[in-house]
A = this chain, B = another copy of it.
Amino acid sequence: MSLSNTDVPNGVNHEACRPIREVLGIVGDKWSLLITYQLSRQKLRFNELRRALPGISQRMLTYSLRELERAGLVLRTVTPSVPPRVDYELTPLGATLLVPVQGLTDWAVAHQAEMEAARARYDEA
């Protein structure tokens, strides 16, 4: 599916706002984006993901992974070893999310210094 959507211009389109709100509820949060970013490299186990995301709680990681799995973006595989091994990886649908996520992370890196300077000015004033 194409990433562009001519039905959704930058301008007024209230009809388009409802699905955007709903979908950003899932993909538009820091942890979902960061989990997607981490899984872009390779499949990871729960504890590997947790170590890669300092600051995330076990509860929040469990919740985020379940919502990503539920939406068909992440595949959870249980290998019946002792102890059982659980891996997480992106589905083909999840992999398509990497394009806009990369756009957002590129923007973040490019403008980080500008935002830090703005924040320092704001906190001084």
- The chain A residues found within 8 Å of chain B, CB to CB, are 1-5, 7-8, 10-12, 16-17, 19-30, 33-34, 37, 40-41, 52-55, 69-73, 93, 96-112, 114-115, 117-119, 121-123
**Copies assembled:** 2
A104 touches B107 (CB 8 A): no
Q: How far is the CB of A113 from chain B (nearest CB, A)?
A: 9
Main secondary structure of the interface of A (DSSP, over half): helix
Q: Report B-chain residues with C-beta under 8 Å of the C-beta of A112.
A: 19, 22-23
Report which residue of A21, A26, A41 has the largest number of chain B beta carbons within 10 angstroms of its beta carbon: A21
B104 touches A100 (CB 8 A): yes
A103 touches B106 (CB 8 A): no
